[in-house]
Amino acid sequence: MDKIVICKQCGKPEYWGEMRWLSGRCTCRNCYKANWQDENHCLYTWDDLDGKRPTMKEYQEQQDERYRNGKD
Ligand SMILES: [Zn+2]
């Protein structure tokens, strides 16, 4: 399972492998899209940012799992 991280911009969980870089910021797909539209002043029309997002529950479960395994 892909590692889940918390986006620093919106505080929502996102898969680590789906985080996007834009202007030195590493954000989730939602924020990337918003930032991209902000910078380019046009709509982001591609669908590569669609797809399943992890839930806060999944993030918590992963944190619990990591704690149990002593990885932190
Ligand atoms: Zn975000």
pLDDT in tens, 9-60: 999 999 999 999 999 999 999 999 999 999 999 999 999 999 999 999 999 9
Q: Give the Å distance between the CA of 14 and the centre of ligand 1.
A: 8
Pairing relation of β-strands 20-22 and 13-15? Answer: unpaired
Does 62 reside within a domain?
no
At residue 72, the pLDDT reads 58
Does 71 reside within a domain?
no
Does 51 reside within a domain?
no
Structural domain boundaries enclosing 26: 1-46
**Of 55, 10, 17, 13, residue with least CA distance to 33:** 10
Q: Give the Å distance between the CA of 34 and the centre of ligand 1.
A: 9
Q: Give the Å distance between the CA of 31 and the centre of ligand 1.
A: 4
Residue type, 3: K
In the chain, the number of structural domains is: 1
Strand (E) positions, 1-72?
4-6, 13-15, 20-22, 25-27
Q: Give the Å distance between the CA of 8 and the centre of ligand 1.
A: 6
pTM for the structure as a whole: 0.86
Does 25 reside within a domain?
yes
Separation between Cα atoms, residue 23 and residue 45, nearest integer Å: 19
Separation between Cα atoms, residue 4 and residue 57, nearest integer Å: 11
The answer to whether the beta carbons of residues 44 and 5 sit under 8 Å apart is no
pLDDT of 7 strictly over 80: yes
